[in-house]
Amino acid sequence: MKRFILHCDLDAFFASVEVRDNPDYQDKPVIIGADPKDGKGRGVISTCNYEARKFGLHSAMPISQAFKRCPQGIYLRPNFKKYHEASHEVMEIINSYSQKFQQVSIDEAYIDISEICVNFDDVQELTLNLQQKVYESVGITVSIGCASSKSIAKIASDFKKPNGITIVKPEEFKEFLSPMDITRIPGIGKKSKEYYNKQGIRVIGDIIKIPLHRMIEKFGKNGKWAWEIANGLDKREVKNSMRDRKSISKERTFFKDTNDFQEILTKLDEINEKLHEKVQKDKISYKTITLKIRLEGFLTYTRSKTLPYHTQNKEKTIDIILELFKEFSKDNRKIRLIGIKLSNLTSRSKIIQKDLLSFVNE
């Protein structure tokens, strides 16, 4: 069966969030990391946007060196809370395309869409849609790679950054990989590169040409791994990262920013309905209800209420949401996105299981 695996990686992630929130920074070099202190600062760059990369700046570069190369840059300290929030939002969106979802770092995830797409036209459509949805809801760009293995999907997502989509068909993967430097293979770093180069291996095509037993003789385990990736034989599955569920939430971005109360109410009702389908299906009850509102320009507010007991009551929840919304109804600014989060969860099935276990143990 055909395998369609996507690797999604946000572009210049921390920097993109800062540019989103400060439109003045658009088209300027933005560097997130230690304080440069006029060139005397210690520490390194976390990341920088693509404008800054034109000056040769990159992650892990000493901040003092960065300052020498690009003194006119905008240097910012990281705001992790904001990045975690944005990451969470993006991951929810990616996960909404497929249950086979594996987050691998703050800004990258795999999904397996083999059961959702029949052909490459479907893949093209889905990836474009995913990119748009992330941009509209979270305001940052993501690059996506598609291939029949995780490792090639990862190499592909990096191919046309930023905001790129690269789909590698099975009949094209050798041509795609062959001219690439061997360090594109995850697991071949600077050190092993030197060693491979000494043996005359520079590009992935050189690995494809060698028989497996020679690779193992010369480079051991690392050689076997590199050979399998180069030949499209990485069979690793997208592991479902069982995210420890602390809340369930849903949000919707309006097609056009709005302050039409009726439209907002309809959307909130729809979200509440959907959430309670989940509540019923997964036998969840919750104590805390949160309303999230994002205004034009990405300013985001949340307001919560915690009940003294757990509930599954849909009608009560929408009443609370409308109560929380009142604060914003006087605001003239238009709304871009709204969402509801239910947290402080207990799962009934878990409670029953626990009771059963204690019963057995006794």
User: Which residues are designated catalytic?
Assistant: 108
Q: Residue 9 interacts with ligand TTP (CB under 6 A)?
A: yes
Going by C-alpha positions, the residue among 198, 223, 202 that lies closest to residue 211 is 223
Residue 145 has phi, psi (to 5 degrees) of -120, 140
Residues in contact with Mg ion, counted by CB under 5 A, come to a total of: 4
Instruction: Specify the residue, 13 or 173, whose C-beta has the smaller distance to Mg ion.
Output: 13
Report the distance separating Cα 78 and Cα 56, nearest Å. 20
Least distance (Å) from Mg ion to the CB of residue 158?
9
Quick one: which of 6, 7, 9, 100 contacts Mg ion (CB under 5 A)?
Answer: 9
Q: Residue 51 interacts with Mg ion (CB under 5 A)?
A: no
Going by C-alpha positions, the residue among 50, 52, 47, 48 that lies closest to residue 71 is 52
C-beta atoms surrounding 329 within 10 Å: 10
Going by C-alpha positions, the residue among 194, 138, 187, 145 that lies closest to residue 166 is 145
Q: Residue 12 interacts with ligand TTP (CB under 6 A)?
A: yes
Which residues, listed in sequence order, are joined to residue 143 by a DSSP beta bridge? 9
Count Cα neighbours of 63 within 13 Å in the Cβ-side half-sphere: 23
Instruction: Specify the residue, 13 or 173, whose C-beta has the smaller distance to ligand TTP.
Output: 13
Q: Which of these segments, 7-15, 134-142, 267-275, 319-327, binds Mg ion (CB under 5 A)?
A: 7-15
Q: Residue 161 interacts with ligand TTP (CB under 6 A)?
A: yes
Least distance (Å) from Mg ion to the CB of residue 180?
19
Quick one: which of 6, 7, 11, 86 contacts ligand TTP (CB under 6 A)?
Answer: 11
Report the distance separating Cα 79 and Cα 61, nearest Å. 19
Q: Residue 107 interacts with Mg ion (CB under 5 A)?
A: yes
Q: Residue 75 interacts with ligand TTP (CB under 6 A)?
A: no
Report the distance separating Cα 169 and Cα 228, nearest Å. 17
Report the distance separating Cα 342 and Cα 246, nearest Å. 9
Q: Residue 107 interacts with ligand TTP (CB under 6 A)?
A: yes
- Dihedral of alpha carbons 328, 330, 331, 335, sign: positive
Pull the structure tokens for residue 282: 């997964």
Q: Which of these segments, 3-11, 19-27, 208-216, 283-291, binds ligand TTP (CB under 6 A)?
A: 3-11
Packing angle between helix 80-97 and helix 13-21, nearest 10 degrees? Answer: 110
Pull the structure tokens for residue 144: 């996506």
Least distance (Å) from ligand TTP to the CB of residue 53?
8
Residue 161 binds which of Mg ion, ligand TTP, none (CB < 5-8 A, kind-dependent): ligand TTP
Least distance (Å) from Mg ion to the CB of residue 32?
12
Residues 6+ apart with CB under 8 A from 118: none
Rg (CA), the chain: 24
Q: Residue 173 interacts with ligand TTP (CB under 6 A)?
A: no
Q: Residue 153 interacts with ligand TTP (CB under 6 A)?
A: no
Q: Residue 1 interacts with ligand TTP (CB under 6 A)?
A: no
Are the C-beta atoms of 335 and 264 separated by less than 8 Å?
yes
Quick one: which of 5, 7, 13, 101 contacts ligand TTP (CB under 6 A)?
Answer: 13
Residues in contact with ligand TTP, counted by CB under 6 A, come to a total of: 14
Instruction: Specify the residue, 61 or 203, whose C-beta has the smaller distance to ligand TTP.
Output: 61
Residues that bind ligand TTP (CB under 6 A): 9-14, 46-47, 59-60, 106-107, 161-162
